[in-house]
Structure 1
Amino acid sequence: MAGTNSNSQNILLPLATICGLFFIFGFVTWANAPLIPFFKLSFGLSDTQAFLVTFSSYIAYFFLALPSSWILKKTGFKNGLILGLIVLALGSLIFIPAARSRSFELFLGGIFVQGAALALLQTAANPYLSIIGPIESAAKRISMAGICNKFAGMIVPFIMGALFMKNAAETEAKITAATGSEKEQLLSDVLARVNTPYIVLAVVFVLFALLIKTLHLPEVNPEEDVVDEASGEVVHHKSVFQFPHLFLGALCIFVYVGAEVMAGDVIGIYGKELGIHADVAKYLSSLTLGGMLLGYVVGIFTIPKLISQQFALRICALLGIAFSIIAYFGSGYTSVIFIALLGLANSLMWPAIFPLGISHLGKFTKTGSAIMIMGIAGGAILPLTYGYIKDHLGVNFQLAYFILVLPCYLYILYFAVSGHKVGLSRLKK
């Protein structure tokens, strides 16, 4: 592949930098999980309203992914990362006036700005990981970055959860019992808990941007044309729409991210519905992230030496189907544990889906990557749909969960078996 150097020493610094970025992605993204019950407590929201947190974050990918591709073409990879980190810092600082004015809408605005920054950063980082070395081992490199991402997600509930939801049950009881000015003061004190952590995050993002400024990160450009694997001849494509497997892959990202967010961000509310105490439920997302972390470790040691990316995706899809069924028919901690185990099922999906979706795109790789990133909007739609079905249609919360996530895993299985190959046998027109 043109512009690609498979020498491990040459890719070590870029790989370490991207892993650091994935840690940041994970910390910001999975901070949504403790924010959901925190805003429910602070603003007295329904589940549907609270899930606007994930909606605001993930819907930004849909609107900003393609513009991000254009920005990256203008700025280059390195400057695009710096710009994304600065915007991420600005989004974090919006939390300060939002807390002072007690404006849920302003909080959602800050979360949307963060999502916009992550769209730019993800549009840059994911294809970079895929094409910096052999495409066959892309899932292994993405798994390495994923460990950093999910490790951040594991520690977020213990840091942000401890800060935001300290003495959650006791605080909720006090707010419920208070009236007038006393209640107003309690709510203001609770919302003020976001100030210090988000100021610290903004400073960290700016410092990381300055660090990237000093590093030499080589630009890696994909091949301009696609080579037919059967004949070895160059195939000239005029449009990204000539790659149906790309759009099937983007849909696969959509349902995968939706299922991932349902397992990670929704599990706390799901646990409370089963009667688990609020002070325990706030840490449940760490179980999901722990499962994902375990899966990434397995991926590093098995892909592509022992199993292919496609086969790993098949296994994960089957696990997702099985765990969803058990969680639906289970109760109490049994049901919650299998929701958490969906983290294990989800673990190798992104590392496999993304390189399969952008394979053979040639000069359309950046545009194709942006289209794939747009699929992250699934994390906006599924939790909000779950809240609406549960709150407004009177559907049992376990059934609502089941009828949303099971079709996701069935489609992922289709993409793993045959969807990723659609159109590739007709590369030569």
Structure 2
Amino acid sequence: MTREPFDAVDVIRTKRDRRELTDDQVDWVVDAYTRGAVDQEQMAALAMAILLNGMSRPEVARWTAAMIASGERMDFSGLSRPTTDKHSTGGVGDKITLPLAPLVASFGVAVPQLSGRGLGHTGGTLDKLESIPGWRASLTGDELMAQLEDVGAVICAAGAGLAPADKKLYALRDVTGTVESVPLIASSIMSKKIAEGTGALVLDVKVGSGAFMKDLDTARELARTMVDLGTDAGVRTVALLTDMATPLGRAAGNALEVRESLDVLAGSGPEDVVELTVALAVEMLAGAGRPTPEAEVRAALGDGRAMDVWRRMIAAQGGDPDAPLPVAAHRQDVVADRSGVLGALDAYAVGVAAWRLGAGRSRREDPVQAGAGVELHAKPGDEVTAGQPLLTLHTDTPERFDRARAALDGAWSVGDEAAAGRGPLLLDRVG
């Protein structure tokens, strides 16, 4: 039996006592955990010590590098187009990837958007796209490269070979109360994105009730940590901090969000979704060395260029871009109890309601309903009248309505005074 160069307990004690891990300690503990030489209980203790005591910038950088080294790296240098990517920390109604990838690709830039599935109150991009008949999330490496060269945009599942240490550690953090650690969130996201091999990266760090980061200071710390990690690894990285106190757009749920994304690609759609899509596209194009004025980016949504790429992207992955999207079998309205101005609509509550209606999952293996979700008829600042539908709940299983409505108790308010409505969508830029 090969003798290990370090003892896991000594590594745990180092971080427990607020001391800095050496490069060799970091390299060893990530590798040893991945191959099973460090027990789950020991890594759980180390993760909690990291959550409580933090990590220095060199420690986080080394931890991220060790996670990357646990698997393979992708290489897009053979493409004729520059590459750029976007990552969102997750929110409610956050369908931005769907119109964004084809929009950016319409300017001659390749967008390898490796995405995930939803868990809890935040939706997953792959779940949304799987509501399109025939569309498939899994591509081989050769299929991915060919589609990037031909179409310019791919939205697909990440292969198991990218940062396997992260996959194992993420599952552990999820059941040990250590998800919220900024160093571990940053290294989890950035290990996968750096291993993915994109030349430029734009981060959408959500802030508010519907996001992981509830306050601006913590979100800014996470954004700065991730931007530093990307920059140190040679990836041109910037982060936008964006509001997630209110759901994005007017739909939360899989097919509902695809339908809204198609509106955006057709030159209409909710203005907040359009605003964020355009802002991220401008940053992605600049990072890829193709700076483009905002007005021209917006024009590509209205003149069919982005829609053309969308249709080719969906068809290339087996989907039928003309097929009708699934519709839930049952609907129920939530109405205003008085006339006035909608003062608030809590993103987290809407996300939980959509999840309870069947749009999300509690465990990774749970199925989702394509047509389930919440449709919003009013946003903060809008005038409403008594009895007017504020929300419509969609599900195939009507016994879910009561629990979804319970999630919305206290989630919205109607007042007499004209409210300020939603604050700015773009809160800050880091990078």
Query: What range is the shorter-chain TM-score in?
Result: under 0.3
Q: When you count strand as a share of all residues, which structure comes out higher?
A: 2
> TM (normalized to structure 2)?
0.26
Higher relative contact order, structure no. (Cα contacts within 8 Å, ≥ 6 residues apart): 1
> TM (normalized to structure 1)?
0.27
Q: When you count helix as a share of all residues, which structure comes out higher?
A: 1
